[in-house]
Amino acid sequence: MAGGPTTQELVAACSAAGALGSFGFAYTQPAEMKRQAAWVRGKTDRPFGINLFVAPQPETIEASAQRAALAAVAGYYAECGLPPPEPVSAPYAPKLEEQMAAVEEIRPRVFTVHLGALPAVEVRKLKALGILLGASATSVAEAKGLESLGFDFVIAQGGEAGGHRGSYLRDPYRSLTGTLALTRLIARAVKLPVVAAGGIMDGAGIAAVLALGAQAAQLGTAFIPCPESGASQVHKDALLRLEEDDTRLTEKFSGKPARGLANRFMREMEDKPQLAFPAQSSITGKLRQASAKAGKPDFIAMWAGQGAPLSRALPAAELIARLEAETVQAIQQLLQGQFHAS
Ligand SMILES: Cc1cc2nc3c(=O)[nH]c(=O)nc-3n(C[C@H](O)[C@H](O)[C@H](O)COP(=O)(O)O)c2cc1C
Q: Is residue 342 part of a domain?
A: no
Mutate to test the pocket of ligand 1, among 1, 112, 300 (most ligand atoms within 8 A of CB): 1
Q: How many residues does the chain have?
A: 342
- The mean pLDDT value for 2-13 works out to 96
> Is any atom of ligand 1 closer than 6 Å to the C-beta of 198?
yes
pLDDT recorded at residue 337? 82
Q: Which of 78-82, 163-167, 286-290, 338-342 has the lowest mean pLDDT?
A: 338-342
> Is any atom of ligand 1 closer than 6 Å to the C-beta of 303?
yes
Helix (H) or strand (E) holding 78: helix 63-79
Question: From the alpha carbon of 259, which atom of ligand 1 is closest?
Answer: 31
Mutate to test the pocket of ligand 1, among 110, 303, 310, 311 (most ligand atoms within 8 A of CB): 303
pLDDT per position as a tens digit, 249-300? 999 999 999 999 999 999 999 999 999 999 999 999 999 999 999 999 999 9
Q: Is residue 196 part of a domain?
A: yes
Any idea what the Cα angle at residue 69 is, between residues 67 and 71, rounded to 5°?
65
pLDDT recorded at residue 339? 57
ω before 278 within 30° of 0 (cis)? yes
**8 neighbors 35 (Cβ within 8 angstroms):** no
> Is any atom of ligand 1 closer than 6 Å to the C-beta of 2?
yes
- The mean pLDDT value for 62-73 works out to 95
pLDDT recorded at residue 341? 58
Owning domain of residue 122: 8-335
Give the rounded percent of residues in the chain with a pLDDT score beyond 70: 99
List the one residue out of 121, 209, 109 whose CA is nearest residue 158: 209
Q: What is the mean pLDDT of the chain?
A: 96
| Atom 29 (ligand 1) nearest CA | 163
pLDDT band at 57 (very low <50, low <70, confident <90, very high): confident
pLDDT recorded at residue 60? 86
> Is any atom of ligand 1 closer than 6 Å to the C-beta of 12?
no
For residue 340, is pLDDT > 70? no
Q: Is residue 270 part of a domain?
A: yes
Total domain count for the chain?
Answer: 1
Helix (H) or strand (E) holding 268: helix 264-269
Question: From the alpha carbon of 136, which atom of ligand 1 is closest?
Answer: 11
pLDDT per position as a tens digit, 164-199? 999 999 999 999 999 999 999 999 999 999 999 999
pTM, two decimal places: 0.97
pLDDT per position as a tens digit, 223-256? 999 999 999 999 999 999 999 999 999 999 999 9
Q: Is residue 37 part of a domain?
A: yes
Q: Is residue 226 part of a domain?
A: yes
pLDDT band at 216 (very low <50, low <70, confident <90, very high): very high
For residue 58, is pLDDT > 70? yes
> Is any atom of ligand 1 closer than 6 Å to the C-beta of 5?
yes
Q: Is residue 220 part of a domain?
A: yes
Distance 20 CA to ligand 1 centre (A): 14
Q: Is residue 83 part of a domain?
A: yes
- The mean pLDDT value for 17-30 works out to 98
pLDDT recorded at residue 90? 87
The CATH number of the domain where 166 resides is what? 3.20.20.70
Q: Is residue 152 part of a domain?
A: yes
pLDDT per position as a tens digit, 26-48? 999 999 999 999 999 999 999 99
What Rg, from alpha-carbon coordinates, does the chain have? 20
pLDDT recorded at residue 195? 98
pLDDT recorded at residue 142? 98
